[in-house]
Amino acid sequence: MLGKLLHVLGAACVRLRWLVVGLWIVAAVGITLAVGQVGAVTHNNLTLPGADSQIAYDVLE
């Protein structure tokens, strides 16, 4: 059952290959734009007082 469904899906993707490629491109661009609009702003200023890596970082500063 699942094998037949996958065969039909694969055959449809081959027949409509340019539509499938176009849809993937549109999806990739849309996801990229959405992440850019709603993605969290990240900061690279984490401190862990007492950790060996924090001590080393403080020494380097």
Query: Which residues in the chain land under pLDDT 50?
Result: none
Residue 22's pLDDT is: 98
Tokens coding 42:
């990240």
Tokens coding 36:
């850019």
Residue 38's pLDDT is: 86
Residue ranges covered by each domain of the chain? 1-34
Quickly list DSSP for 5-51. Answer: HHHHHHHHHHHTHHHHHHHHHHHHHHHHHHHHHHPPPP------TT-
Residue 55's pLDDT is: 87
Residue 17's pLDDT is: 97
Residue 12's pLDDT is: 97
